[in-house]
Amino acid sequence: MFRCRHIQFEDVTTLHGRLDLPELTPVFEAFPDVAVVSISDHQRRGLPEAHFVGTVHHDLPAGLLMPREGVIPRYLAFLGRIAPEKGPERAIRIARACGIPLKIAAKLDRADQSYFDTVIRPMLGDGGVEMVGEISDAEKLTFLSGAVAAVSRLDQLSRKRVRSEFMARAWSVRSRRSGCFTSVTVSFTSTVRRSRR
């Protein structure tokens, strides 16, 4: 992103994740002419001073996550990353309140290790939660096929792909009207309507 100012060429950068972090503001104030793309219209609210030139929503191939035959769903699924903004502690509380086991297939970055050790690890001692670890795209089909439903923070600015994967799995997805989910739902609904004509 920083070399754009000194070299003459067309360039655009896609921004993933949260943009409301205070350390991002000085970068975009220093480079106001850098063209960027958001992954949702809502994501832009966190950094309105950036030079947004478009929004590109995640897309999944049709039929990518069709349920596996013969797999009986028995647990709730949490898919994504272990981090405060992703809400795995909320998923654990929801699973326990429902009396359904929870499987967590999630990456743990070094930056979130302290959060895991102080918040999540103590919650694991009460049982009913299985830490699967990070899984590949190829493993997601089996993981999601065995799930009754997925539990995730649908109000976050990022991870639209996870929401799309939940919907591609044909789950009924409910959310508060906030975060990226509004634009994902509109995009997904439009695609379904077009494909059924």
Least confident of 49-63, 92-106, 146-160: 146-160
User: How far is Cα 100 from Cα 49, in angstroms, rounded to an integer?
Assistant: 44
State how far Cα 45 lies from the chain centre: 17
**Rounded Cα–Cα distance for residues 47 and 186 (Å):** 23
β-partners of residue 149 are 76
Looking at 21-35, 97-111, 150-164, which range is the least confident one?
150-164
Within a 10 A sphere around the Cβ of 23, how many other Cβ atoms?
6
For position 3, what pLDDT does the model report?
47
More confident residue, 160 or 147: 147
The CATH superfamily of 75-196 is Glycogen Phosphorylase B; (3.40.50.2000)
Is the model more confident about 80 or about 103? 103
pLDDT band for position 24 (cuts 50, 70, 90): confident
In angstroms, the CA 109 to CA 89 distance is 16
Q: Give the separation between CA 126 and CA 83, rounded to whole angstroms.
A: 20
Task: Look at residue 34 in the predicted model and tell me its pLDDT.
Answer: 85
Higher pLDDT, 76 or 156: 76
Which tokens is 128 given?
Answer: 């009913």
pLDDT band at 8 (very low <50, low <70, confident <90, very high): low
Question: Domain residues of the chain, as ranges?
Answer: 2-55, 75-196
What pLDDT sits at residue 89?
A: 93
Query: For residue 50, how many other CB atoms are within 10 A of its CB?
Result: 22
The pLDDT of residue 157:
37
Res 196: pLDDT: 36
pTM > 0.85: no
Residue 184 tokens, joined: 């994902």
What is the C-alpha separation between 166 and 151, in angstroms, rounded? 10
pLDDT in tens, 112-144: 999 999 999 999 988 899 999 999 988 888 888
Q: Which residue from 142, 125, 173, 30 is spatially nearest to 75, judged by alpha carbons?
A: 142
